[in-house]
Amino acid sequence: MRRITDLSAFNEVREAGLAKLLPPGPRIAIGMGTCGTGNGAESVYHAFADAINQRGLGVKLARTGCFGFCAAEPLVNVWLPGKPLVILQRVQPNDVDAILDDLLAGRMPAGLALCKIEEWDHITGHVKYGAGCPEIPHWYDTAFFKGQKKIVLRNCGLISPGDIDEYFAVGGYQALYKALIDANPEAIIESIKVAKLRGRGGAGYQTGIKWDFLRKAKAEQKYIICNADEGDPGAYMNRNEIESDPHSLLEGMIIGGYVMGATEGIIYARAEYPLAVHRLNSAIEQAKEYGLLGENILNRGFKFNLRLVEGAGAFVCGEETALIRSLEGKAGRPTPRPPYPAESGLYGMPTNINNVETWYNIAPIVIKGAAWFTETGSPKSSGTKVFSLVGKVTNTGLVEMPLGTPLKTFVYDVGGGGTNGRAIKAVQTGGPSGGCIPMDMFDTAVDYESLGQLGSIMGSGGMVVMDEDNCMVDVARYFIEFTHSESCGKCIPCRVGLDKSLHYLNRISHGKGTAADLELLDELSRMIRDTSLCGLGQTAPNPVLTTMRHFRHEFEDHIRAGRCRAGVCEDLALSPCENSCPLHMNIPRFLQLLKEDRLEEAFLSVVMDNPLPASTGRVCQHPCDDRCRRAGIDEAVNMREVHRHIADAIYPTERFDALAAQVAARRLPPTGKKCAVVGAGPTGLACAFYLALLGHEVMVYDSNAAAGGMLRYALPDYRLPKDVLDLEIELIRRTGVQFTFDTQVPKDVSLNDLDSQYDSVFLAIGTWKESWVYLPGTELTGVIPALPFLEAISKQQPVPLGKNVAVIGGGNAAIDSARTALRLGSKVTIIYRRERKDMPAIAEETEAAEAEGAQIMFLATPHRIIGSPDGKVQAIEAVKTRLGEYDSSGRRRPIPTDEIVRMACDTVILAVGETVDADFAKASGLKIKESGLIEVDRYTLETSRPNFYAGGDLITGASNVSNAMGYGKKAARKIDQRLTGERRWDQIFPKFDIDQTPPAHPSASGRHHVTEVDAAERAKTFADATIGLAPVEAMEEACRCLRCDIRNGDHQ
Partner 1 sequence: MPQKISLRIDGELIHTAGQRSILEVALEHGKFIPSLCHMKGLASVGACRLCIVEVAGVGRVLPACSTPVQDGMAVTTQSDKLRRYRKIALELLFAERNHVCAVCVSNGHCELQGLATKLGVTGVRYPYTFPKIGVDLTHKKFTLDQNRCILCTRCVRVCAEVEGAHVWDVSSRGVGSRLVCELNRKWGESRNCTSCGKCVQSCPTGALAEKGFAVEEMTKRTEPISRLTALRGVRP
376 touches partner 1 by CB under 8 A:
no
Out of 106, 489, 884, 1006, the only residue in the binding site for partner 1 (CB under 8 A) is: 489
530 touches partner 1 by CB under 8 A:
yes
- Dist. CA 123–CA 623, nearest whole Å: 50
668 touches partner 1 by CB under 8 A:
no
437, 451, 465 from 444: Cα distances, Å: 9, 7, 15
Q: 3-class DSSP state for residue 969?
A: helix
488 touches partner 1 by CB under 8 A:
yes
In the complex, minimum distance from the CB of residue 496 to partner 1, in angstroms, rounded to a whole number: 4
- Stretch (H or E) spanning 962: helix 961-980
In the complex, minimum distance from the CB of residue 373 to partner 1, in angstroms, rounded to a whole number: 29
- Stretch (H or E) spanning 226: strand 223-228
Specify the stretch interacting with partner 1 by CB under 8 A; choose among 60-68, 99-107, 378-386, 490-498: 490-498
- Dist. CA 304–CA 293, nearest whole Å: 6
251 touches partner 1 by CB under 8 A:
no
- Dist. CA 601–CA 179, nearest whole Å: 83
545 touches partner 1 by CB under 8 A:
no
- Stretch (H or E) spanning 639: helix 639-650
In the complex, minimum distance from the CB of residue 491 to partner 1, in angstroms, rounded to a whole number: 5
Specify the stretch interacting with partner 1 by CB under 8 A; choose among 499-507, 725-733, 792-800, 1044-1052: 499-507
What single-letter DSSP state applies at residue 198? B
| Residue 957: other Cβ atoms inside 10 A | 16
499 touches partner 1 by CB under 8 A:
yes
**Dihedral over Cα of 385, 391, 392, 398: its sign:** positive
In the complex, minimum distance from the CB of residue 533 to partner 1, in angstroms, rounded to a whole number: 5
335 touches partner 1 by CB under 8 A:
yes
In the complex, minimum distance from the CB of residue 526 to partner 1, in angstroms, rounded to a whole number: 9
331 touches partner 1 by CB under 8 A:
yes
DSSP string, 249-301: HHHHHHHHHHHHT--EEEEEEETT-HHHHHHHHHHHHHHHHTTSSEEEETTTT
Out of 163, 486, 852, 953, the only residue in the binding site for partner 1 (CB under 8 A) is: 486
Q: 3-class DSSP state for residue 705?
A: coil
Can you give the three-state secondary structure of 17-59, one letter per residue?
HHHHHCCCCCEEEEECCHHHHHCCHHHHHHHHHHHHHHHCCCC
Residues in 302-321 at the binding interface with partner 1, rule: CB under 8 A: 314, 316
982 touches partner 1 by CB under 8 A:
no
In the complex, minimum distance from the CB of residue 269 to partner 1, in angstroms, rounded to a whole number: 21
57 touches partner 1 by CB under 8 A:
no
In the complex, minimum distance from the CB of residue 326 to partner 1, in angstroms, rounded to a whole number: 12
134 touches partner 1 by CB under 8 A:
no
Nearer to partner 1, 485 or 987 (CB): 485
Where do runs of H (alpha helix) occur along 454-586?
A: 472-486, 492, 498-509, 515-531, 535-539, 542-550, 552-556, 576-580
493 touches partner 1 by CB under 8 A:
yes
Q: Which amino acid is residue 335, in one-letter code? A: T
Phi and psi (nearest 5°) for 230? -80, 110
Q: 3-class DSSP state for residue 594?
A: helix
Specify the stretch interacting with partner 1 by CB under 8 A; choose among 164-172, 519-527, 653-661, 766-774: 519-527
Out of 305, 531, 778, 977, the only residue in the binding site for partner 1 (CB under 8 A) is: 531
328 touches partner 1 by CB under 8 A:
no
231 touches partner 1 by CB under 8 A:
no
Specify the stretch interacting with partner 1 by CB under 8 A; choose among 56-64, 113-121, 487-495, 953-961: 487-495
Q: 3-class DSSP state for residue 307?
A: strand
Nearer to partner 1, 501 or 947 (CB): 501
- C-alpha closest to that of 756 among 498, 554, 938, 948: 948
Rounded to 5°, angle at Cα 347 from 341 and 353: 35
496 touches partner 1 by CB under 8 A:
yes
**Dihedral over Cα of 505, 507, 512, 516: its sign:** negative
Specify the stretch interacting with partner 1 by CB under 8 A; choose among 168-176, 196-204, 482-490, 728-736: 482-490
In the complex, minimum distance from the CB of residue 762 to partner 1, in angstroms, rounded to a whole number: 40
265 touches partner 1 by CB under 8 A:
no
What single-letter DSSP state applies at residue 159? S
Out of 151, 427, 524, 975, the only residue in the binding site for partner 1 (CB under 8 A) is: 524
In the complex, minimum distance from the CB of residue 490 to partner 1, in angstroms, rounded to a whole number: 5
Q: 3-class DSSP state for residue 202?
A: coil
138, β-bridge pairs: 116
In sequence order, the 6+-apart residues with CB closer than 8 A to the CB of 301 are none
Nearer to partner 1, 138 or 337 (CB): 337
Out of 210, 484, 696, 973, the only residue in the binding site for partner 1 (CB under 8 A) is: 484
Nearer to partner 1, 271 or 1030 (CB): 271
In the complex, minimum distance from the CB of residue 332 to partner 1, in angstroms, rounded to a whole number: 8
- C-alpha closest to that of 260 among 225, 301, 308, 295: 225
In the complex, minimum distance from the CB of residue 329 to partner 1, in angstroms, rounded to a whole number: 13
- Dist. CA 896–CA 490, nearest whole Å: 60
In the complex, minimum distance from the CB of residue 463 to partner 1, in angstroms, rounded to a whole number: 26
523 touches partner 1 by CB under 8 A:
yes
Strand 126-128 and strand 119-121: pairing? Answer: antiparallel
104 touches partner 1 by CB under 8 A:
no
- C-alpha closest to that of 407 among 479, 464, 341: 464
- C-alpha closest to that of 605 among 582, 589, 616: 589
Specify the stretch interacting with partner 1 by CB under 8 A; choose among 479-487, 579-587, 774-782, 997-1005: 479-487
- Dist. CA 55–CA 88, nearest whole Å: 22
178 touches partner 1 by CB under 8 A:
no
Out of 90, 500, 872, 891, the only residue in the binding site for partner 1 (CB under 8 A) is: 500
What single-letter DSSP state applies at residue 765? -
Specify the stretch interacting with partner 1 by CB under 8 A; choose among 136-144, 434-442, 483-491, 690-698: 483-491
| Residue 453: other Cβ atoms inside 10 A | 8
Number of residues located near partner 1, criterion CB under 8 A: 32
In the complex, minimum distance from the CB of residue 505 to partner 1, in angstroms, rounded to a whole number: 13
892, β-bridge pairs: 886
Out of 476, 533, 790, 905, the only residue in the binding site for partner 1 (CB under 8 A) is: 533
In the complex, minimum distance from the CB of residue 456 to partner 1, in angstroms, rounded to a whole number: 17
Specify the stretch interacting with partner 1 by CB under 8 A; choose among 22-30, 484-492, 743-751, 1010-1018: 484-492
In the complex, minimum distance from the CB of residue 157 to partner 1, in angstroms, rounded to a whole number: 37
589 touches partner 1 by CB under 8 A:
no
Q: Which amino acid is residue 1032, in one-letter code? A: V
Out of 18, 57, 527, 903, the only residue in the binding site for partner 1 (CB under 8 A) is: 527
Nearer to partner 1, 157 or 318 (CB): 318
Q: 722-734 and 655-664 helices cross at what angle (nearest 10)?
A: 40
Nearer to partner 1, 361 or 483 (CB): 483
498 touches partner 1 by CB under 8 A:
yes
Task: Provide the binding-site residues for partner 1, judged by CB under 8 A.
Answer: 314, 316, 331, 333, 335-336, 338, 484-493, 495-500, 503, 520, 523-524, 527, 530-533
